[in-house]
A and B are shown apart, each in its own frame.
Chain A
Amino acid sequence: MSNSRLEPLIFEISRPGRQGVRMPAPDVPTTEIPATLRRDNLDFPEVAEIDVVRHFVRLSQLNHGIDIGFYPLGSCTMKYNPKVNEAVARLPGYAAVHPLQGEGTTQGALALMYMLQTWLGEVAGFEHVSIQPAAGAHGEFAGILMIRKYHLDRGDEKRTKILVPDSAHGTNPATTSMAGLEVIELPSDEKGDVDLDALRKACEEHKDTIAGMMITVPSTLGVFEEHILEIVEAVHNVGGLMYMDGANLNAVMGVIKPAELGFDVMHYNLHKTFSTPHGGGGPGSGPVLCNEKLAPFLPGPIVAIVEEAVDEDDAPLYGWEMPEKSIGRLKAFHGNFGMHVRAYAYIATYGTDLAEVTRYAVLNANYVRVKLKDHYHAPFDRMCGHEFVLEGHWPEKAPGIHALDISKRLMDYGIHPPTNYFPLIVPEALLIEPTETESKETLDEFVEIMLKIAEEAQTNPDLLHDAPHTTPVRRVDEVKAAKELVLCCRPILPE
Chain B
Amino acid sequence: MSYIPHTDADREAMLKAIGVDSIEALFDAVPETHRFPKLDLPTPRSELEVSTELEALSMFNISAKEYAVFLGAGAYNHFSPAAVNQLLLRSEFYTAYTPYQPEVSQGTLQAIFEFQTMISRLVGMEAANASHYDGATALAEAVTMAGAIQRGRNKVVLSPGIHPQYREVVRTYHQNRPIKFSGDRGGKATLLDLIDMIDDNTMMVVVQYPNFFGQIEDLTEIAKAAQSHKALLCVVTDPVACAILKPPGAFGADIVVGEGQSLGIPMSFGGPYLGFFATLEKHVRKIAGRVIGETLDIDGKRAYTMTLRPREQDIRREKATSNICTNQGLMSLAACMHMSFLGKQGMQRVAELCWHKSHYAADEIDKLEGYSVDKGQPFIKEFVVTCPKPVAETNEHLLHHYGIIGGYDLSQDYPDRQNQMLLCVTEMNTREEIDMLVEALRTVNEEKHIHVELKA
Contact = CB atoms under 8 A, between A and B. Distances in A.
Would A and B touch once assembled, by the CB under 8 A criterion? Answer: yes
Contacts of B414: none
Interface stretch (A202-210, A234-242, A305-313, A334-342): A334-342
A407 B101 contact: yes
A91 B318 contact: no
A95 B267 contact: yes
B357 interface: yes
Contacts of B26: 359, 362-363, 366, 383
Nearest to B53: A348
Contact of B266 (A96, A112, A138, A471): A96
A491 to B, nearest CB: 9
A446 to B, nearest CB: 13
Contacts of A174: 313, 316-318, 320, 322-323
A4 B301 contact: yes
Given A62-B110, A96-B267, A329-B165, A280 B340 contact: no
Nearest to A315: B60
Contacts of A73: 97
Contact of A101 (B71, B95, B117, B163): B71
A270 B88 CA distance: 20
Interface residues of B, number: 201
A463 interface: no
A256 B303 contact: no
A375 interface: no
Given A6-B302, A60-B93, A334-B270, A354 B41 contact: yes
Interface in B72-94: 73-75, 77, 79, 81, 83, 85, 87, 89-94
Contacts of B297: 473-477
B93 A279 contact: yes
A138 B166 CA distance: 16
B19 interface: yes
A136 to B, nearest CB: 7
B343 A46 contact: yes
A281 B130 contact: yes
A149 B87 CA distance: 44
Which residue, B121, B135, B326, B341, has most C-beta atoms of chain A within 10 A?
B326
B117 A488 contact: yes
B316 A52 contact: no
A260 interface: yes
A64 B37 CA distance: 37
A223 B51 contact: no
Given A91-B54, A278-B96, A488-B117, A111 B60 contact: yes
B93 A63 contact: yes
A331 B271 contact: yes
A10 interface: yes
Contacts of B216: 37
A337 B120 contact: no
Contact of B110 (A9, A81, A334): A9
A493 interface: no
A90 interface: yes
Interface in A91-124: 91-102, 105-109, 111-112, 119, 122-123
* Residue from the set A67, A78, A438 with the largest chain B CB neighbour count within 10 Å: A67
A76 B1 CA distance: 22
Given A332-B163, A334-B271, A481-B305, A26 B326 contact: no
Contacts of A472: 103-104, 106
B293 A485 contact: yes
Contacts, number: 681
B353 A105 contact: no
Size category of the A interface is 35 or more
A281 B313 contact: no
Contacts of A5: 301-302
Interface stretch (A179-187, A287-295, A393-401, A450-458): A179-187
Contacts of B106: 6-7, 59, 62-63, 472-473
Nearest to B331: A283
B65 A485 contact: no
Nearest to B50: A348
A93 B61 contact: yes
A98 B271 CA distance: 10
A330 B172 contact: yes
B427 A23 contact: yes
Interface in A144-164: 145, 148-149
Interface string B1-31: 1111110001101110111000100111111
A437 B1 CA distance: 10
A135 B269 contact: no
B165 to A, nearest CB: 4
B238 interface: no
A474 B65 contact: no
B111 interface: yes
B344 A42 contact: yes
B314 interface: yes
Contacts of B270: 99, 332-335, 337
Interface stretch (B150-158, B188-196, B241-249, B445-453): B241-249
A437 B6 CA distance: 9
Contact of B87 (A19, A60, A169, A353): A60
A204 to B, nearest CB: 23
B17 to A, nearest CB: 6
Interface in A438-484: 438-440, 468, 471-478, 480-482
Nearest to B266: A95
Contact of A339 (B58, B74, B272): B272
A112 B64 contact: no
B63 interface: yes
Given A31-B355, A100-B71, A360-B6, A473 B301 contact: yes
B108 A63 contact: yes
B166 A332 contact: yes
A494 interface: no
Interface in B154-178: 163, 165-166, 168-169, 171-173, 175-177
Contacts of B395: 102
Interface stretch (B197-205, B227-235, B284-292, B382-390): B284-292
B28 A281 contact: no
B17 A26 contact: no
Nearest to A29: B360
A243 interface: no
Contacts of A11: 114, 117
Nearest to A178: B323
B114 A98 contact: no
5 contacts: A23-B350, A98-B405, A138-B133, A331-B133, A475-B298
Given A22-B346, A26-B356, A101-B62, 16 more contacts: A9-B113, A23-B345, A34-B378, A42-B122, A64-B96, A68-B91, A73-B97, A96-B64, A100-B74, A108-B58, A135-B325, A257-B34, A278-B94, A283-B329, A332-B270, A333-B269
A-B interface, 7 closest residue pairs, ranked by CB to CB distance from nearest: A93-B58, A333-B270, A180-B176, A279-B330, A108-B60, A99-B270, A328-B172
